[in-house]
Amino acid sequence: MSSIKAGVIGLGFIGPVHIEALRRLGDVEVIAVAGARWGTAEAKAAKLSVPRAYADWRDLVADPDVQVVHNCTPNFLHYEVSMAAIGAGKAIICEKPLAMNASQAAELLRAAQEAGIIHAVCFNDRMYPLAQEMKARIARGDIGEVRLVHGAFLQDWLLYETDYNWRIDPAMGGEARTVGDIGSHWLDLAQFVTGLRITEVYADLVTFLPKRRKPKAHVEAFAGLGLEPEEYEEVEVTTEDCGLILLRFEGGARGACVLSQMCAGRKNYLTLEVYGAHGSLGWNLERPNELWLGYRDRPNELLAKDPALLTPAARACVHYPGYHNEGYPDTFKNLFQKVYAAVREGGRMPEGPTWPTFEAGYRANLVVDAVLRSAKEQRWVAVEC
């Protein structure tokens, strides 16, 4: 059986994550990477044992041996890179957010559908086994009609004024920073597990640090800094440090979430709780192998990730026995496993794909755009259909 050939564009934090997950699939070969500069791309390719390096991502897309393109670039390049891959007739897996705004995302979705190519967006949090379990239990009516959805996504890597990353610059990351970066994950997951779309939002966005000290030299995300004062320059900040959002879901359910990357001690704290007419479910990304089950008239339960105890959809994302913990890297493996199975089976989008597609990316962009508008106009804003 011949291997499927993949190319990864973007060599910051997330690119190597994609490469490691792809290699765990067994039938995928990462044959090329592309970075922003030749020296960087060549050095990264050597470090990651990838045979081909390109300084220009267009050369990777044009490589006739590359069958699947992974778009791990900064947000402002998502549209251009993904559209080029679609034009080349290649399967495309894009990091989130799918695009800088819903208009771009709509164009990408339409182009991918018209071309008939396989497409996916990396809302990898869906691929935790117990996130899948939440969805399955809600769908079969275990907690009754969904009434309330709430939670948070909190980090601390942008806590200090000397913390800086390209995401802070709206020209590179988009007008929405915290909401677009980590908020898009939470908003997608809430809709995925409940099976309900967000229809309206009311948002309050805050920039606690209107000025930050930007390193004069490039640093990678999450790297941590120990620079001298003269190695920074002061820049103005217009993107939000924090988002507080009220939500209305189809069917009448209500929700709320808090989003921030300035919460000391919170590294990757995504919580999602869903309350129904008969029971409740709660999940915490920092404890991903446990699912809380809440009851009114009997003791609450804590369900461990154990394939013998899970529904079929969740069991498909489990690779080790109960209490053999699985986590962040495994979610990418689970997502890519589904996508590459379709690539191997003919390279066309299947009916009812079981991974987040460009449609999910478009939906997330619609919600983020509505959040931005709501914060500006200080009112409830409907999410476009």
Secondary structure class of 289 (helix, strand, coil): coil
According to DSSP, residue 265 is labeled: T
**pLDDT of amino acid 226:** 62
- Better pLDDT: 384 or 199: 199
Considering the domain architecture, whether residues 299 and 157 belong to the same structural domain is answered as yes
Considering the domain architecture, whether residues 134 and 270 belong to the same structural domain is answered as yes
Identify the CATH number of the domain in which residue 177 sits: 3.30.360.10
Q: Give per-residue pLDDT as tens, 170-227.
A: 999 999 999 999 999 999 999 999 999 999 999 999 999 999 988 877 666 555 556 6
**pLDDT of amino acid 76:** 96
| Model confidence band, residue 346 (pLDDT cutoffs 50, 70, 90) | confident
Considering the domain architecture, whether residues 170 and 113 belong to the same structural domain is answered as no
Closest by Cα among 33, 40, 36 to 16:
33
Q: For 37-55, what is the mean pLDDT?
A: 90
* Strand duo 301-304 + 290-294: pairing: antiparallel
At a CB cut-off of 8 Å and minimum separation 6, what does 74 contact?
10, 12, 166, 167, 172, 173
Per-chain mean pLDDT for the chain: 95
Q: For 54-78, what is the mean pLDDT?
A: 97
% of the chain beyond a pLDDT of 70:
96
Following CA atoms 62, 65, 66, 67 in sequence, which dihedral angle do they give, to the nearest 10 degrees?
Answer: 120
**pLDDT of amino acid 228:** 63
Q: Give per-residue pLDDT as tens, 250-277.
A: 999 999 999 999 999 999 999 999 999 9
The answer to whether 183 and 239 have CB atoms below 8 angstroms apart is no
- For residues 74 and 35, what is the distance between their CA atoms, to the nearest angstrom? 11
Q: For 265-292, what is the mean pLDDT?
A: 97
Considering the domain architecture, whether residues 227 and 132 belong to the same structural domain is answered as yes
Closest by Cα among 12, 359, 377, 314 to 139:
314
- Is it the case that residue 319 has pLDDT exceeding 70? yes
For 187, the domain range is: 126-327+365-382
- Is it the case that residue 87 has pLDDT exceeding 60? yes
Considering the domain architecture, whether residues 146 and 288 belong to the same structural domain is answered as yes
Considering the domain architecture, whether residues 108 and 140 belong to the same structural domain is answered as no
Q: For 325-330, what is the mean pLDDT?
A: 94
Considering the domain architecture, whether residues 120 and 130 belong to the same structural domain is answered as no
Considering the domain architecture, whether residues 94 and 136 belong to the same structural domain is answered as no
Q: For 303-321, what is the mean pLDDT?
A: 95
Query: What is the number of domains present in the chain?
Result: 2
- Is it the case that residue 96 has pLDDT exceeding 70? yes
Considering the domain architecture, whether residues 253 and 288 belong to the same structural domain is answered as yes
The answer to whether 357 and 188 have CB atoms below 8 angstroms apart is no
The answer to whether 382 and 370 have CB atoms below 8 angstroms apart is yes
- Measured distance between the N- and C-terminal CA atoms of the chain, rounded to whole angstroms: 43
